[in-house]
Structure 1
Amino acid sequence: MSLSTLSPTRRRTPVLVFAAVSATCALALSACGTTATDASAEDGAAKSTSEACADDSGTTSADPVSVKDDTGHTIELDKPASTVVSLEWQYTEDLLSLCVDPAAVADAKGFTTWDTAEKLPEDTADVGTRQEPNVESILSANPDLVIIESTSRDDKIIKALDKQDIPVMAMTGADGEDPIAYMKDTFSTVAEATGRSERADTVLADFDAKVEESKKAIVSADLETKDFVYFDGWVNGSNVALRPFGQGSLLGELGEELGLKNVWTGDVDPAYGLGQTDIEGISKAGDANFFYTGTDDPESEDYVELLKKNDIWSNILAVKDDRTYAFPSGIWTFGGPKSSEQALDAYVEALTK
């Protein structure tokens, strides 16, 4: 999710949305990241994955697949899926990290903008929006597996694909009980379905190594305070609405994994750990370090610029002490291991520079 204000057609609300968010705000919350990207970071990540994938040819399992999705449904395949359609950016990223180029994806343009952890081939077919993918476009890709974010097999897309005997793996997208473990489990499930478990083990080992490396960097920084709040936001009329990433959020838990303390104590939704507040509300955590998703979206009003014009914001201790840190644009805050590594790097870079 992003701090920039994005139009409803470019954002998607997670499956389980914080109940108090209005319909308009829910749409504004759905995409995470910014339009500007850090070219060096993006190219480095893509090169690293492409080199690894070139070196690990022939490691795809050929065994039949029997894997259970988050709805409890078992997907049975005679062989691992190789022609996969992804209807959510997290799974698009995961497939690419596993050296599986998706046959088609939902919102390819959005992925290349908001998720820079992996590079999507330019000729990848687009099947429409993540909210309303086109079933005919999905079928035209002739997939042997479709991965969708859904909490129920009653989803209309799933029902339509079931009628065509297309295997569909439904994942819920988040788990506030242990978001890092869920991120890893989701990645491993996608790997199992595509016969790429060996590659998944390597990627997850790299992630664990990044966590340990980042922990040491934070300890060495000898910070005055390890308290933090991470948030994004959008412009709502003439006001700024903020969305803190509280307990149960992936970004929040990644920070705590480094030894930091997420001090947002407001209500959050149980799946994604996302709250809602305003400038006055966020000011109550003003002694903490502030992290937020940077904005650079020419199609939207910049909520960060409005923050800077607000007297309450200007008087927050973290602002006065210059302890507010914008994450680089293009880090998908609901992504897989590679996006999570980008987030770890951003925390460390901000606190040790």
Structure 2
Amino acid sequence: MRIPALIAAAAILLTACGTTESAPPTGETGSAGGPVTVTDSRGKAVELKAPAKKVVALEWAETEILASLGVAPVGVADLAGLKTWNSEVSLDASVKDVGKRNEPSVDAIVALAPDVVVMAEERESTLVPQLEKYVPVVVTKTSDATRNIDRLRDDVKLIAKTVGKSAEGDELLSDMDAKLAEGRKAVEAKGATGTPFFMTDGWMEGSTVSIRPFGKGSLVSDIAEQVGLKNAWTGKVDEQWGLGQTDVEGLSALTDPKTIMIYSASEEDVFSTGLEQNPVWQRLPFVTSKKITKLAPGTWTFGGPASVGHIADQVVRAATS
């Protein structure tokens, strides 16, 4: 890109004066704004004329990260669901709903004339090429059960660079690390390090409760392990999200009497309404010991640094109470 003559002249003058001020890092911009290039989870270099100001976010974690950086998206997928499931995000009435997370409206997105669309990797297969005809698209990794905390760091840095907020992104991550360290110290102080936990959500299928354990490698499991707990679920989980599938009979493998259960239910609470008469459920160690914690409504288990901190606080209370 050609540098305007005035900017070029100013750069020469600063050099001649022997200024020691550092130039902005590659891909970042100074106060006057300038081109930004980021490499997203696809390994694709996405070029923007300037840090993005008008952003459409198609996943709730990405929406949360943007809001935490001080950048309110102009469009978000499934606003109603966001308000139910992620209490860490507060958006004003001007934000437009662009459709479902798994099937957003290309027309609604393009009508907002965004500088960039930020979306999650698992939703990118056919949508990305449609959108890229009209607007740059940055694709985040969104989950990786081999390194979810570090994956989140990468996603935060990617989004922060896209909107010219790298310093704010580093601060978000520093605050997250401090929260996890604080939680670890609290668990240690109570002698609760190594407490086995079972974390899950669930739903009704007819009269049957389907249970989805958060296995090792899921984001919430990584959070709990960061503060010193140990995941008791050893069943099979998927490689991206670290999530499993079972029924109440499958929980009979959880026999350690020290096990605590933590579950998510921002809508229907199947654990308090669908299992109260089930004899297998009644014999489980965390049921007999009453060591069951329901996460606060709006705790998003697939979120950004703010959600990580919110979950860490609740996990620590569950382990130390």
User: TM-score interval w.r.t. the shorter chain?
Assistant: 0.7 to 0.9
Task: Supply the distance in 2 between the matched residues of 1:179 and 1:156 (Cα, whole angstroms).
Answer: 25
- Indicate conservation of the 8 Å contact 1:61/1:195, yes or no: no
Secondary structure of 1:85 counterpart: strand
Task: Supply the distance in 2 between the matched residues of 1:279 and 1:209 (Cα, whole angstroms).
Answer: 37
- Indicate conservation of the 8 Å contact 1:71/1:151, yes or no: no
Identity of aligned residues (%): 38
Q: Which amino acid aligns with 1:161?
A: L
Count of aligned residue pairs for this structure pair: 291
- Indicate conservation of the 8 Å contact 2:180/2:312, yes or no: yes
Specify the alignment match of 2:127 in structure 1.
157
**Residue deviations 1:47-70 (CA, integer Å, cap 9, x gap):** xxxxxxxxxxxx978342111111
Specify the alignment match of 1:28 in structure 2.
none
2:176 corresponds to which of 189, 201, 207 = 207
Specify the alignment match of 2:221 in structure 1.
252
Q: CA deviation at 1:212?
A: 0.9
TM alignment of 1:182-201, pairs within 5 A: 182-201=151-170
Task: Supply the distance in 2 between the matched residues of 1:323 and 1:77 (Cα, whole angstroms).
Answer: 51
Task: Supply the distance in 2 between the matched residues of 1:315 and 1:98 (Cα, whole angstroms).
Answer: 46
Distance 1:258 1:169, change over 3 A: same
- Indicate conservation of the 8 Å contact 1:286/1:316, yes or no: yes
Q: CA deviation at 1:301?
A: 7.0
- Indicate conservation of the 8 Å contact 2:33/2:51, yes or no: yes
Task: Supply the distance in 1 between the matched residues of 2:189 and 2:57 (Cα, whole angstroms).
Answer: 41
Specify the alignment match of 2:45 in structure 1.
74
Of structures 1 and 2, the one scoring higher in RCO (CA 8 A, sep 6+) is 1
- Indicate conservation of the 8 Å contact 2:141/2:155, yes or no: no
Unmatched 5+ stretches in structure 1: 1-58
Specify the alignment match of 1:294 in structure 2.
265
- Indicate conservation of the 8 Å contact 1:151/1:170, yes or no: no
Task: Supply the distance in 2 between the matched residues of 1:97 and 1:301 (Cα, whole angstroms).
Answer: 29
1:132 corresponds to which of 90, 98, 103 = 103
Distance 1:263 1:184, change over 3 A: same
Task: Supply the distance in 1 between the matched residues of 2:146 and 2:312 (Cα, whole angstroms).
Answer: 20
Q: CA deviation at 1:187?
A: 0.9
Task: Supply the distance in 2 between the matched residues of 1:143 and 1:204 (Cα, whole angstroms).
Answer: 26
Secondary structure of 1:234 counterpart: strand
Greater Rg over alpha carbons, structure: 2
Specify the alignment match of 1:304 in structure 2.
272
**Residue deviations 1:216-241 (CA, integer Å, cap 9, x gap):** 11111223961111011111111111
Task: Supply the distance in 2 between the matched residues of 1:171 and 1:103 (Cα, whole angstroms).
Answer: 18
Q: CA deviation at 1:318?
A: 1.4
Q: Which amino acid aligns with 1:332?
A: W
Are 2:241 and 1:272 aligned?
yes
Distance 1:224 1:348, change over 3 A: closer
Alpha carbon RMSD of aligned pairs, Å?
A: 1.9
**Residue deviations 1:46-98 (CA, integer Å, cap 9, x gap):** xxxxxxxxxxxxx9783421111111111011211111000111110010000
Task: Supply the distance in 1 between the matched residues of 2:301 and 2:294 (Cα, whole angstroms).
Answer: 13
Q: CA deviation at 1:285?
A: 1.3
Q: CA deviation at 1:352?
A: 2.6
With 118-127 and 205-214 compared, the bigger mean Cα shift is at 118-127
Unmatched 5+ stretches in structure 2: 1-29
2:303 corresponds to which of 328, 335, 339 = 335
- Indicate conservation of the 8 Å contact 2:200/2:262, yes or no: yes
Task: Supply the distance in 1 between the matched residues of 2:44 and 2:123 (Cα, whole angstroms).
Answer: 10
Task: Supply the distance in 2 between the matched residues of 1:302 and 1:285 (Cα, whole angstroms).
Answer: 19
- Indicate conservation of the 8 Å contact 1:60/1:195, yes or no: no
1:219 corresponds to which of 173, 188, 210 = 188
TM-score of the pair, normalised by structure 1? 0.79
- Indicate conservation of the 8 Å contact 2:211/2:246, yes or no: yes
Q: CA deviation at 1:204?
A: 0.9
TM-score of the pair, normalised by structure 2? 0.86
Q: CA deviation at 1:158?
A: 1.3
Task: Supply the distance in 2 between the matched residues of 1:223 and 1:99 (Cα, whole angstroms).
Answer: 36
